[in-house]
Amino acid sequence: MKSIAVLGLGNMGAGMARRLLKAGYEVTVYNRTRERAEPLAADGATVAASPKQAAGHADMVIAMLADDNASRAAWTGDAGALAGVRPGTVLMDSSTLSVDWVRELAAASAALGCPFIEAPVTGSKPQAEAGELLFLAGGEPQTLDAVRPVLATMSRAIVHLGPVGSGATMKLVNNFLCGVQAASLAEALAVIENSGLNRDAAFDILANGAPGSPLVKGVGKRMTARDYRVHFALHLMLKDMTYAIAEGARNGVALKMGEAARDKFHAATAAGLGDKDFAAIAELNRQQ
């Protein structure tokens, strides 16, 4: 594979596209707002006017978009990527999506004679820029094998979880747990701050003790510093929690902790924090 199209140039998509350029691939990019594409054009990417145009000469199309609606808009319709692909082009969506939409997209790809892989990722902006993402792949093993060299330029590892839908399910489980941790950490820090404890000493105990997951350490530092430059936007965590709760229900599991955390993220979005890093959920308690 030589020619790769990348649809969506947010924090993640832009980092992925830049890694592909550095690896020597011919990269065509598309973003709904063209100005997000200009820095990549300066690095050697071709900027397309539509997803259809971006996909027209690509050996592989990768999408990294905000949600089901954005993914559907990029793939379908007269200007969508599916309208421009050639049979045999490998299609991959790395967005965090609902399982239902991922399976619908896979069926639409198959009808066009295009192998499909879903491969959402763990990691955020720094990992995308450094090529250290973890791909959670669902699809046919032979399709994944065909694109492993491409994914290797953007990742530290690639995990094949099973058929289409497996990657989306695992990503929603992952983000559900991350969202619950972040919401509970915000409340824990509020107790620490309101009680008069030395916050830095108390956080050091949390970060380096039993609760000290990588998320607690990283997000907690942003909460204590009140540094909400976006690694992963709060409104996207709200979306992921919503999808995860729906997927849990479909599998007969009521994610009660997820519902409580979702409500906190919803309140934070209503308070104007949606476009900040999801660590900004800590401000919700500070505003009370």
Asked whether the CA dihedral 142, 144, 147, 153 is positive or negative, the reply is negative
Could you give the residue range(s) of every CATH 1.10.1040.10 domain in the chain?
169-287
At a CB cut-off of 8 Å and minimum separation 6, what does 9 contact? Answer: 17, 29, 30, 31, 36, 37, 40
217 as an active site residue: the answer is no
Residue-wise pLDDT tens digits, 103-145:
999 999 999 999 999 999 999 999 999 999 999 999 999 999 9
Which CATH number does the domain 3-163 belong to among 3.30.70.100, 3.40.50.720, 3.40.50.740, 3.40.718.10? Answer: 3.40.50.720
pLDDT at 258: 98
Per DSSP, the three-state class of 159 is strand
10 Å Cβ neighbour count for 93? 29
Fold of 169-287: N-(1-d-carboxylethyl)-l-norvaline Dehydrogenase; domain 2 (1.10.1040)
Residue-wise pLDDT tens digits, 196-214:
999 999 999 999 999 999 9
pLDDT band (50, 70, 90) for residue 288: low
Residue-wise pLDDT tens digits, 155-182:
999 999 999 999 999 999 999 999 999 9
Per DSSP, the three-state class of 29 is strand
pTM of the model: 0.96
Query: Do 29 and 51 contact (CB within 8 A), yes or no?
Result: no
Check 22, 52, 125, 171 and give the catalytic one.
171
Average pLDDT rounded to a whole number, residues 276-285: 96
At a CB cut-off of 8 Å and minimum separation 6, what does 34 contact? Answer: 47
* Measured distance between the N- and C-terminal CA atoms of the chain, rounded to whole angstroms: 54
Q: What percent of the chain has pLDDT over 70?
A: 100
pLDDT at 286: 87
Q: Considering the chain, what is the average pLDDT of its residues?
A: 97
CA distance 223 to 145: 40
Could you give the residue range(s) of every CATH 3.40.50.720 domain in the chain?
3-163
At a CB cut-off of 8 Å and minimum separation 6, what does 279 contact? Answer: 182, 219, 222, 223, 227, 228, 231
Query: Do 85 and 55 contact (CB within 8 A), yes or no?
Result: yes
CA distance 176 to 102: 18
